[in-house]
Chains A and B, each alone.
Chain A
Amino acid sequence: MNFFESLYIKVFVNIIVGRDNTVAYIESCSKKGVINSHEESFDTLRINEKMLSVIKKYTSETPFYYISFLDASSSQGAIPTCAKNRIAYYYDVSDSEYKCQDSKWINYTSKTDLYEVERHYREIGVDFIFSPFSVLAHFFKDKIDGQAAIYVLLQEDFISLAVFKESELLYAQRVGMKSDSAKEELDSVDAAMDMDVDLNLDDSIDLDNVSVTDEMDSLDDFGDIEDLDSLDDIDEFSETQDVEEEFYHEHEEESEQESDDFFNEDYQRFFLVQSAINSFYKDVRYQSEFLENIYIADAVGVTGELKRYFEEEMFMNAYVRRVSLGAEVSALARLEVLA
Chain B
Amino acid sequence: MKYSYIKPRKKSAITAEAKLLFTFFGMTLLMLILTYVFLLFKDYSFTRDLKSIEREYVTLDANLAQMKEQIVFIEKENVLAQSVRTKNLVLKDSITNLFDLVPARITLSQAKLDKNSLVLHGVTPNKDVYNFMLQAPLRSIFHRTYSSFYPAENGWLRFVSTNYADEELPLSREEPSIEN
Partners in one complex: yes
> Which residues from chain A sit less than 8 Å from chain B, CB to CB?
2, 4-5, 7-8, 63-66, 68, 71, 97, 99, 101, 109, 114, 118, 125-131, 134, 138, 332-333, 335-337, 339
State whether A127 touches B9 (Cβ < 8 A): yes
Does residue B1 face the partner (Cβ distance < 8 Å to A)?
yes
Expressed in whole angstroms, the Cα–Cα distance for A339 and B4 within the complex equals 12
Chain B residues with Cβ below 8 Å from A339 are 2
> Which residues from chain B sit less than 8 Å from chain A, CB to CB?
1-6, 8-9, 11-15
State whether A64 touches B13 (Cβ < 8 A): yes
Main SS of the interface on chain B?
loop
* Closest Cβ neighbor of A127 among chain B residues: B8
Chain A residues with Cβ below 8 Å from B14 are 4, 63
B55 CB, nearest partner CB in chain A, Å: 52
Chain B residues with Cβ below 8 Å from A332 are 3-4
Expressed in whole angstroms, the Cα–Cα distance for A125 and B1 within the complex equals 17
State whether B11 touches A126 (Cβ < 8 A): no
State whether B8 touches A336 (Cβ < 8 A): yes
State whether A336 touches B1 (Cβ < 8 A): yes
State whether A337 touches B5 (Cβ < 8 A): no
Expressed in whole angstroms, the Cα–Cα distance for A130 and B8 within the complex equals 12
Known: A7-B13, A63-B15. A129 touches B8 (CB 8 A): no
State whether B3 touches A130 (Cβ < 8 A): yes
Expressed in whole angstroms, the Cα–Cα distance for A125 and B6 within the complex equals 12
Contacting B11 at CB < 8 Å: which of A5, A71, A109, A118? Answer: A5
State whether A126 touches B2 (Cβ < 8 A): no
* Closest Cβ neighbor of B3 among chain A residues: A134
B172 CB, nearest partner CB in chain A, Å: 103
Chain B residues with Cβ below 8 Å from A138 are 3
Chain A residues with Cβ below 8 Å from B2 are 101, 335-336, 339
Known: A5-B13, A63-B11, A64-B13. A335 touches B5 (CB 8 A): no
Expressed in whole angstroms, the Cα–Cα distance for A126 and B9 within the complex equals 8
State whether B4 touches A336 (Cβ < 8 A): yes
With most chain A CB atoms within 10 A of its CB, the pick from B4, B11, B13 is B4
State whether B12 touches A71 (Cβ < 8 A): no
State whether B6 touches A114 (Cβ < 8 A): yes
Chain A residues with Cβ below 8 Å from B6 are 114, 118, 126-129
State whether A336 touches B13 (Cβ < 8 A): no
* Closest Cβ neighbor of B6 among chain A residues: A129
Q: Could you name 28 residue pairs across A and B whose Cβ atoms are closer than 8 Å? A: A4-B13, A5-B11, A7-B13, A8-B13, A64-B13, A65-B11, A68-B4, A97-B5, A99-B3, A109-B5, A114-B5, A127-B8, A127-B9, A128-B3, A128-B6, A129-B5, A129-B6, A130-B3, A130-B5, A131-B5, A134-B3, A332-B3, A335-B2, A335-B3, A336-B1, A336-B2, A336-B4, A336-B8
